[in-house]
Amino acid sequence: MLVAGFPAAMFGTNCYVVATGPGQECVVVDPGIDVVDQLDQLLAEHHLQPVAVALTHGHLDHTFSVTPVCGARGIPAYIHSADRDRLADPMATLGPQLTEMFAGRLTWTEPDDVRELVDHTVLNLAGLDITIEHAPGHTQGSVLLSLPARGDVPPLCLSGDVLFAGSIGRTDLIGGDFAAMQQSLRTKILPLADDTVVLPGHGPQTTIGQERATNPYLRELSQPAPSRGM
């Protein structure tokens, strides 16, 4: 398996490509702000042909380049239905500070072909089996993209802004929900095997075992409930 990526210049959003190997078809994950040239270089370096873009959620720093990436190749974009409105009109959910930042800069059009990521389904693309897990909290439509172990590559989880090394995604933005985030961490993150490599939307990669042991948000959820008297 080949997994490569780089951070966008703005917000440090990680853009990834995943393929069975060099010279094969691939899936692009979260093409953020002004990443087209760097993505093209990465694809050329490994001789990869994208067949789809998968979006972990609908925030603009993860979706900014989805239309040029898809449009240049005639490929679909995949997003969860609960974040579909963010792809249709990203400015509507940015909040005042980010709206001011992008005012006059963003001329937005959706990709021609937008498809739905469905919870508990397996997406078969580029010879890969990508399991979709709906994990709301950061946004209503946040998802985990998980791939099974393959050869000497351990299981992978592209976690978007659900889980970071040592932290979790914000829940104070429009559509965020801390209770939903805790539920996603409890039911979708904690059950993953310790050797699962986490490829987050921002920052360095980590493992579930490392986060289970050190991430304060997961440690809190992992603590046994105190015993209750009669």
Q: One-letter amino acid identity for 71?
A: G
- Indicate the fold that domain 2-222 takes in CATH: Metallo-beta-lactamase; Chain A (3.60.15)
Tokens of 96: 């005042």
As a three-state string, the secondary structure of the chain is: CEEEEEECCCCCEEEEEEECCCCCEEEEECCCCCCHHHHHHHHHHHCCEEEEEECCCCCHHHHCCHHHHHHCCCCCEEEEHHHHHHHHCHHHHCCHHHHHHHCCCCCCCCCCCEEEECCCCEEEECCEEEEEEECCCCCCCCEEEEECCECCECCEEEEECCEECCEECCCCCCCCCHHHHHHHHHHHHCCCCCCCEEEECECCCEEHHHHHHHCHHHHHHHCCCCCCCC
Give CA–CA dist 39/106, Å, rounded.
20
Give CA–CA dist 43/26, Å, rounded.
9
Give CA–CA dist 219/14, Å, rounded.
25
Could you list the pLDDT tens digit for every one of the 230 residues in the chain? 999 999 998 899 999 999 999 999 999 999 999 999 999 999 999 999 999 999 999 999 999 999 999 999 999 999 999 999 999 988 777 666 666 666 666 677 899 999 999 999 999 999 999 999 999 999 999 999 999 998 888 999 999 999 999 999 999 988 999 999 999 999 999 999 999 999 999 999 999 999 999 999 999 897 654 444 44
CA distances from 204 to 23, 60, 73, 197 (A): 26, 20, 29, 11
The per-residue pLDDT for 104 is: 62
